[in-house]
Structure 1
Amino acid sequence: MTRWNDRDLEQIGTAEELDLRSERADGTLRDPVTMWVVRADEQVYVRSVKGIDGPWYRGTRSRHQGRVDAGGVRQDVTFRTADPGEYAAVDAAYRDKYGHYTSIVEHVLTDRARTSTLCLEPR
């Protein structure tokens, strides 16, 4: 597994939003989807409010890779389904970063959203 370098990890982790483009089966990239992104320890995560039924999440399942843009960083990534043991740290990161959006942040902290937690690994 490739790790994020410190600069990219910091820039992505502090970016307000991330643009994610998943790769289709033929290798082309889908249109970007803008979403919240969090850093927990040395990893970067995203979630779908609609859980595994969310359209952009379903798009990540065809090749498990794509490209992200956030905080001035553009990186090809692998989408790794997070282990449930990672959920608590990701929840805390969402609360810490986006807690000031009180009525919105709760939508990424539901069981439905947790099941769609993806770890973005650089490739």
Structure 2
Amino acid sequence: MTWSPDELRRIAESDDLHIAPFREDGTTYGTPTWIWSVVVDNALYVRGYNGQKSRWYQAAVRQKAGRVTAAGLAREVSFEPVDGAVNDPIDAAYRGKYAASPYLAAMVGPRARSATIKISPRNT
């Protein structure tokens, strides 16, 4: 399943994405965490500010699924860690969207880059 162009546009224009990976039971959502998100090549990406130590990141990698809410949308999603060259355009998207933030340097640094997740909608 993929995001619709309208969903991606709305998410890309917003700054309110909340991520809630499943808890250990695989059915209960964790506490929603507000995080930055970017859209690159019709895909949605997020990063852990605290890198792979971020609690939501650890849960997302372990459970591989959960829910996100953003721009008035709520979607069941899957989480996929990514690495490699895709991080360069993701960095550029973060620089474009969050240029004025004092946190930008950390979000395009090695710690956060190591905790990059692709979020895809899933059928439930």
**Quick check: TM above 0.5?**
yes
> Which segments of 5 or more consecutive residues in structure 2 lack a partner in the other structure?
none
For 2:61, the equivalent position in structure 1 comes to 61
Provide the C-alpha distance between the structure 2 equivalents of 1:89 and 1:61, rounded to a whole number of angstroms: 22
Structure 1 residue 83 displacement after superposition: 2.9
Q: TM-score, normalised by structure 1?
A: 0.94
Q: Any idea what SS the aligned residue of 2:62 has? A: coil
Provide the C-alpha distance between the structure 2 equivalents of 1:95 and 1:61, rounded to a whole number of angstroms: 25
Q: TM-score, normalised by structure 2?
A: 0.93
Per-residue CA deviation, residues 33-87 of structure 1 (Å, 9 max, x unaligned), is 0011111120001001111111111111221101000111111110011131210
1:1-123 alignment to 2 at 5 Å? Answer: 2-26=1-25, 27-101=27-101, 103-123=102-122
Q: Give the number of equivalent residue pairs.
A: 121
Contact 1:91 1:109 in 2 (8 A): yes
Structure 1 residue 3 displacement after superposition: 1.2
Q: Which consecutive aligned stretches of 4+ in structure 1 deviate over 3 angstroms post-superposition?
A: none
Structure 1 residue 17 displacement after superposition: 2.4
Provide the C-alpha distance between the structure 1 equivalents of 2:71 and 2:24, rounded to a whole number of angstroms: 28
> Which segments of 5 or more consecutive residues in structure 1 lack a partner in the other structure?
none
Task: Give the alignment's Cα RMSD to 1 decimal.
Answer: 1.0
Q: Any idea what SS the aligned residue of 1:74 has? A: strand
